[in-house]
Amino acid sequence: MAVPDGPLVIGVDSSTQSTKVLVVDAATGRVVARGSAPNVVTPERDSDPEQWWQALTAAVEQCGPAAAQAAAVAVAGQQHGLVTLDADGRPVRNALLWNDTRSAPQRDRLLADLGGPAAWAERTGSVPAASFTVTKWAWLRENEPEAAAATRAVRLPHDYLTGRLTGQEVTGGTTDRGDASGSGWWSSAAQDYDAEILGHVGLDPALLPRVVPAGEAAGTVRPGLPLPPGIPVAAGTGDNMAGALGLGLTPGAPVLSLGTSGTVYAVSRRRPADPSGIVAGFADAGDAWLPLACTLNCTLAVDRFAALLGRDREAVEAGGEVTVLPFLDGERTPDLPYATGLLHGLTHATTGGQILQAAYDGAVFALLQALDLVLDDDAAPDAPILLIGGGARGTAWRDTVRRLSGRPVRIPRADELVALGAAAQAAGLLLGHDAAAVARGWDTAAGTDLPAVERDDAARERLAAALTDAGALLRRR
């Protein structure tokens, strides 16, 4: 290992499918070691939090001597997951994950009981979707009352892992405002837990973690881990907030992330409150906001179309007028939790490659529809879209975003931006600096610039019409 220019810090990205760890030089942002381990998801779309912890420690151990020199650590985790712990800090049941929409009926009742979408947006910043933690807790109380009654601590995924690092799994648990803002029981207006919402779903606020302000430590690493004991543990945050940190975002810069889910977001100084529910009014990991729209069906759904067609994921063909709405897992944006995928406009001349391209179009169009709502009115309309996530490496994804947006695109060279953002948070804590400013000093957003192309308005109009015409069918159970 080359001699670092500054202290080493560790950033952790615990996602749905895997845990990734980066050891980063705090002075330069250079990654000096990395590790990864898979996370296991059951067919019911839940996961054992204990397995996340095993994956984290395995990934840290892969980093070798560099991890033993770390001076600070932070964990970013998938948003919205419901982790329920008993009095000894053990999971009461598997965690319910963000992409589990079984709590849609509970979501509908919560909206109706507490004033409707506009009231929720004004209160919490978001109209809760069936992916939000509050709906999952309501589902658990209704469907597994014994598990709810046995719960002595409620955590988000990153909270749980931070608690395992510090030894504060139950007593002294912590979270941050960014991840808390996606729970559905944290008020963006008051910047605190909402007592009325908690009372309505029967959740004792004493079971929730303390919200740690930006720049404050959650605790220190306990002995007995493959990390130096006593080093500070930053508050951590949700994966989208960490991705924004990893890019060092400034207000108005649009980000489109292509992963299992797709997201568009931007940092804003204005508190969002979209009553349509398209934009979630999240807080960021600092003192600003992160308006965000998320789709459940992105790279995984398009890859499924490629597999059904027996084609490589890049084997797309232009032309034709076929339309695909790839809502294979229900959908969050648009809000169609009971939806299934639709294929429309087939003719004898339609090719497999055209169907595959239409699947890309359907996934990207859902994200671009939300982009104007995510961005402030004063955001530059020709600013490049920062394209990140696994899909950003694919030519078909890049070309589809450019064709349907009509905007230039930048592909940042830095990879593993969520783990890099967590590392920036750890470095900011250690050095006493703003985490996003640390990442900007690392020049993480530099990359390949692709020019704008003429926008394909015909494809956009077909997709918009398909969504309108199919709305009643898509809303069926």
Residue 166 token pair: 């510090």
Question: Catalytic annotation on 457?
Answer: no
Exactly one of 25, 159, 179, 239 is catalytic; name it.
239
Kindly report the length of the chain: 477
Task: Round to whole Å and give the CA distance between 108 and 203.
Answer: 18
**Please, which contacts does 390-395 make with residues 24 or more away whose CB atoms are closer than 8 Å?**
390/258, 390/259, 390/299, 391/258, 391/259, 391/262, 391/298, 391/299, 392/258, 394/258, 394/313, 394/314, 395/314
Nearest to 95 by CA among 37, 56, 137: 137
Measured between alpha carbons, how far is residue 202 from residues 198, 225, 299 in Å?
Answer: 6, 36, 37
Contact 160, 85 (CB under 8 A): yes
Contact 315, 158 (CB under 8 A): no
- Residues taking part in catalysis: 239
